[in-house]
Amino acid sequence: MKTCQSFFKTHINSRLINLIFISSSLGLILYLVFSSFSSFSTFSTLPSTRILLLGGDVFSSPTSLDHVVFGIASNAKAWPTRKEYVKMWWKPDKMRGCVFLDVGLNNNNNNNNDNNTVLSEDEILPPVCISDDTSRFRYTWRGGLRSAIRVARVVKETVALNHSNVRWFVFGDDDTVFFHENLVKTLSKYDHELPYFIGSNSESFIQNRFFSFSMAFGGAGFAISYPLAKTLAKVLDSCLERYHHLYGSDGRISSCLAELGVGITREPGFHQMDMSGDPFGVLAAHPMAPLVSLHHPDYLDPIFPKMTNRDAMRHLYKAAELDPHRILQQTVCYDRWFSWTISISWGYAVEVFGSHILLPDVLRVPATFRPWKKGGVLHTLFSFDMREHNKDPCRRPVAFHMNKTILEGDQTVSIYKIVEPANCTSNLGSPRGIEMIKVHAPKFNLDMKQLLAPRRQCCDVLPSSWHEKLEIGIRECHEDELIQMPH
C-alpha cells in the first residue's frame, strides 16, 4: 500500500513530449497526414488529431490510455467487496491512478500470493492512496455524509499524484465500471488542452431536479482535461468552504467548475444508472454513443438473468473485450416472412417483436426498471423516450440474452438465447419459438467521422435463417438506405 502525498511538479509541456514522440515516428506522421487529408478532408481542424504543418502549433498524437489518470473514490469498509468490480476493468500495466480510501486497510494478508503462483491483488488492482484529513471543512447538509468532502478532494489529490504526460483525469466511484477503449475514444473527440468537464447527469428527472441538471453525476464517472484539473486543484479547497451546504462530492466539483466558468459537456455513454430493478431497457436501447461507464451494479438486478451481479457484469465484459466499440450499439431490421421486428443491442441482447414496429418506437427504452426511489409520479420520469413493458411476458417482445461471442478474423459472431422462457399458450409463428439468434458483424472500428457524426448501422435477416435459428448480418447502411418497415 502506498500513501499519496501532495507534491507539485514543474509541469512538463505535454506538447513538447508529443513533438519529440511524433518526430521520432515518421510513420505516424504519414498516417495522420493521410487520414486527415483522405477521410476527413472537409474538417480542417480536428480535435486532438490535428496537425498544423504551417502554424507550427501542435503536433498531437491520438489520445490513448497512456494519457489518462484515474481517481477512484472508495473507503476502507466498502473496498474489500467493491474491488471486485474495479478488477473487471482495471488494467494494472496500462492504467495510472489511485483508489482513495479514508483509512488504511488492515491487511491481514488475506491475499493468497504466498506461493508466487498467482498475481497478488496488489498487482492487479490500482494502488491505494489514503485521503488527506478533511475535518477542518464544514459539512452542513443534514443527514448527509461528510465523506463528500473527502471524495471531492480526490480530484485534487489525483492531480497531486504528479503523473507526467497526462491529458485527462477520470474520476469514478468504486462501483463505477469503465469501458476503457470507449472512454479513450470518447475523450479523443475533444482537445485536451482546452478546459473540458465531460460526463453526464442522471437518467432520473427527479434526481436532476433535486441535485442539478448541469452537474456531472459522480457515479457515472467524469473526465476533466489536464489544464482544467490543474486549475481546479488549486482553487478547490476555497470552493469546499463555500459549498458546505451541498449534499455530495459531485455537487461540490461542478459548483467549483461553474465558478471557473466551465459547464458540463454531456456524453451519453456515461451512465449514472439511477434506477432499480431490471436495467434491460436502458442497455437494450442504448444511445448511439460508445458505452463508457455503468454504475450501481449492486443496486440493480443482474444485467443477465440467472447470474450473480458480478458474473453478469463479467459476461458483458467478455463481449466488450471482443468488440468494445460495438458493445450495446443498437441495430434494427425487419423479417418479412414472419413480420417480425428485430432489435439488436450488440453483445447484450436481442428483442424480437411479433409484428412490424416503426423504427422510432423500437428505439424507445422499454420500461423494464423501477424508479431509483419510491415516491410520487415525478419519480417515474426519466430523461429519455420510453415504451411500455407489458406485465404479461406473453405480450412483450421476446428477449434473447447474449450467450457467447466469438471472433472470426475481423468478424464477430454473437449468439443470443432465451434465458427466461415465458409460459404462453402458443409459440406457433411467434418469436418465442426461436431457439437462437446468431449475429454476424464486422469488428467495429470507430473513426473520428463516426464519433463526430454517428450513424446507425443496418442489418439483414440472412437467407440461412430458419424459424428456430435466426441469422442476422450487421453492416453499414447504404447512403440513402432507410431502416424501414416493409409494407
Ligand X SMILES: *[C@@H]1O[C@H](CO)[C@@H](O)[C@H](O)[C@H]1NC(C)=O
The residue ranges that bind ligand X (CB under 6 A) are 5, 7, 9, 112, 114-115, 162, 164, 315, 403, 417, 423
Question: DSSP states of 144-205 as a string?
Answer: --THHHHHHHHHHHHHTT--SS--EEEEEETTEEE-HHHHHHHHTTS-TTS--EEE---SBH
Query: By C-beta, is 208 or 309 nearer to ligand X?
Result: 309
Q: How far is the CB of 375 from ligand X (least distance, A)?
A: 32
Query: By C-beta, is 196 or 226 nearer to ligand X?
Result: 226
Q: How far is the CB of 69 from ligand X (least distance, A)?
A: 12
The residue assigned the cell 473527440 is: 189
Q: How far is the CB of 451 from ligand X (least distance, A)?
A: 31
Query: By C-beta, is 316 or 362 nearer to ligand X?
Result: 316
**Number of Cβ within a 10 Å radius of residue 321:** 14
Query: By C-beta, is 5 or 355 nearer to ligand X?
Result: 5
Q: How far is the CB of 359 from ligand X (least distance, A)?
A: 29
d(CA 241, CA 140): 11
d(CA 249, CA 423): 47
Cβ-closest residue to ligand X? Answer: 9
The C-alpha cell that represents 471 in the structure block: 441469422
d(CA 448, CA 453): 8
Q: How far is the CB of 259 from ligand X (least distance, A)?
A: 28
d(CA 294, CA 220): 6
First to last CA, the chain: 65
Q: How far is the CB of 358 from ligand X (least distance, A)?
A: 31
Q: What angle do CA 329, 331, 332 make, to 5 degrees?
A: 155
d(CA 199, CA 201): 7
The closest alpha carbon to 184, from 43, 60, 58, 325, belongs to 325
Query: By C-beta, is 8 or 337 nearer to ligand X?
Result: 8
435 CA to centre of own chain: 31
Q: How far is the CB of 3 from ligand X (least distance, A)?
A: 11
Query: By C-beta, is 9 or 336 nearer to ligand X?
Result: 9
Query: By C-beta, is 6 or 383 nearer to ligand X?
Result: 6
